[in-house]
Amino acid sequence: MRFLFRPPADEAAGLLALPWGEPLEEWPDDQLLEVPQRGISRHVVRFAASDSTVYALKEIDERLARHEYAMLTDFEAEGLPTVSVLGICVDRPNDLPAILVTRFLEYSMSYRYLFSMRRVDHTSEQLIDTLVELLVRLHLAGIFWGDCSLSNTLFRPDAGSIAAYLVDAETVERHPSLSPGQRRYDVELATERVAAELMDLEIGGLLPDDIDPIEMATVLPQRYEALWDEVTREEVLRPEEQRYRIADRLQRLNELGFAVEEVELVSCPDGGVKLKVHTRVAESGQHRREFFRLTGLEVGEQQARRLLNDLRSFRAWLEQRDGRMVPDTVAGHRWVAEVYQPVVEAIPRDLAGRLAPPEIFHEILEHRWFLSEQAGRDVGTTAAARSYFATVLPQTPKEMTTPSVAAGGLT
Ligand SMILES: Nc1ncnc2c1ncn2[C@@H]1O[C@H](COP(=O)(O)OP(=O)(O)OP(=O)(O)O)[C@@H](O)[C@H]1O
Ligand SMILES: [Mg+2]
């Protein structure tokens, strides 16, 4: 047996104690964790913990495991939204297939779980949009997915919206760039799979009555075309409108969560200018970057948008109180220490892990708004947090995003 992984080595060392010589299907439950409501999968996929990190293990043909390992490694290095890969186990005894080990994507859920949960009112349209955004991002990077589906994507709540991550890269192909035909084919495959998955949800009684699976799936190619056009379209600009049209376009792309790497302007014989934008594919988002610069915290794009507003009002309050300007990075660090961290530290231990801390903070801001409306005055973050921990957070099912120990479990 051989275990191939990238350093740091200490992480993988803890996993060596697992029974790699046995078929994954037969591993004893006390070595594994239970993860609720996963997508449809062909392979044996199981979950194990080591040193308080959870890993997903997929038993799969060695050639595919090596391919997926290489692809996921590249995607992660490029900043694409994917699960993070640890390594592969090959040359197992008795010709057992290889095992691909990825790090469990924290606070993520499968589409089945999103639909089975009544608390969060995520629409299927939102789910399609976030899947389309992921596909466009991959296509911009020259990646043909070949198996885009809801099952092969993981979803993370992001301040009222949802972010999508690629989880299954077995079929991906990397090209310098994709032809329109390749992209169309990938979109067709995705549409078929999503339709089948939505039908499956319907059969299971998980789809709201007013949603027709086929109709919903046909939204996918339309949304894809619209977004692809938005991020790649060339525009011809007249000289007098150049300045604001370029700014306008960049602003729109930023709002869609795409960062522009380079703007190309080509002069046309008629005096006009052709505008081309080269979109950066990496998961970035202007709010995430700005929030990271100010606080050093990594959060989702929509979370960053909300938290930045809170940070700005904190800064304004500081300036007014002290009667002097406060540099934004100083305000950022003070906001973390005086506003954000105390709330995160106050999360009751038995409720920790149900949602990511920035998502909890965002929900507390919503809750504060709600309570303040009722009270006719601002109740403040501390009181809102207390009420939220007592009444709202406990309603988030424990098993929503956190794997639970099947029995006994590992340390
Ligand atoms: N790193 C991970 N973090 C969280 N969940 C994961 C992770 N890896 C896999 N999963 C869950 O396991 C499911 C199955 O994994 P995956 O899609 O890679 O295998 P598969 O479905 O057997 O492959 P195929 O699509 O070829 O049938 C995913 O839908 C996802 O819910
Ligand atoms: Mg899969």
Residue pLDDT, tens place only, 16-32: 889 999 999 999 988 88
Question: In terms of pLDDT, which residue wins out, 256 or 131?
Answer: 131
Last residue of a domain, one of 85, 105, 125: 105
Ligand with smallest separation from the Cα of 48? 1
Burial class of residue 366 (count of CB atoms within 10 Å of its CB; 0-12, 13-18, 19+): middle
Residue nearest to atom 31 of ligand 1 (CA): 38
Instruction: Kindly report which listed range (117-121, 233-237, 296-300, 404-408) carries the lowest average pLDDT score.
Output: 404-408
Whether 70 and 85 share a structural domain? yes
To test the pocket of ligand 1, the residue of 152, 399, 404 to mutate (highest count of ligand atoms within 8 Å of its CB) is 152
What is the pLDDT at residue 373?
A: 94
- The answer to the question of residue 410 being in a domain is no
User: What is the pLDDT, as a whole number, of residue 208?
Assistant: 84
Domain finish residue from 70, 105, 140 = 105
Asked whether residue 193 is assigned to any structural domain, the reply reads yes
Going by alpha carbons, the residue nearest to atom 2 of ligand 1 is: 104
Co-location of 45 and 83 in the same domain:
yes
What's the gap between Cα 5 and its chain centre? 24
Distance (Å) from CA 83 to ligand 1 centroid: 10
Residue 105 Cβ contacting ligand 1 at under 6 Å: yes
**Ligand 2 (ion): which residues have CB within 5 A?**
41, 152, 168
How many domains would you assign to the chain?
4
Query: Is residue 134 domain-shared with residue 215, that is, in the same domain?
Result: yes
Of the candidates 312, 315, 307, 398, the residue with the CA atom closest to the CA atom of residue 357: 307
* Per-residue pLDDT at 73: 95
d(CA 213, CA 225): 20
Tens-place pLDDT, residues 183-199:
999 999 999 999 999 99
Span 353-364, average pLDDT: 91
401 lines ligand 1 (CB under 6 A): no
Tally of CB atoms within 10 A around 190? 27
SS3 (DSSP) at 43: coil
Task: Using the mean position of ligand 2's atoms as its centre, give its distance from the Cα of residue 168 in Å.
Answer: 5
CATH number at residue 52: 3.30.200
Q: Are residues 254 and 323 in the same domain?
A: no
- pLDDT reading at 89 higher than 90: yes
Average pLDDT over residues 33-59: 84
Q: Is the pLDDT of residue 93 over 90?
A: yes
On whether both 261 and 355 belong to a single domain, the answer is no
- CATH number where 199 lies: 1.10.510.10
**Domain-located, residue 407:** no
**74 belongs to a structural domain:** yes
Q: Is there a domain that residue 400 lies in?
A: no
Pair 195, 266 in one domain? no
Is residue 401 a part of any domain in this protein?
no
Task: Give residue 11's pLDDT band: very low, low, confident or very high (50, 70, 90).
Answer: confident
pLDDT digits (tens, 9 = 90+) for 248-274: 888 888 778 777 777 888 888 877 788
Res 407: pLDDT: 36
Q: Is residue 285 situated within a structural domain?
A: no
Mutation test residue for ligand 1: of 15, 40, 45, the one with most atoms within 8 Å of CB: 45
Residues of the chain with pLDDT > 90: what percent? 56
Q: What global pTM score does this model have?
A: 0.86
Residue 42: what residue type?
R
For the Cβ of 149 lying below 6 angstroms from any atom of ligand 1, the answer is no
CB 367 within 8 A of CB 384: yes
Question: Are residues 220 and 117 part of one domain?
Answer: yes
Q: What token pair was written down for 125?
A: 């349209």
Residue 33 binned pLDDT confidence (cut-offs 50, 70, 90): confident
Closest ligand to 38 CA? 1
pLDDT at 409 over 80: no
pLDDT of residue 76: 92
Give the residue numbers spanning the domain of 268. 235-280
The residue with greater pLDDT, 230 or 40, is 230
**Can you give the pLDDT at residue 123?**
73
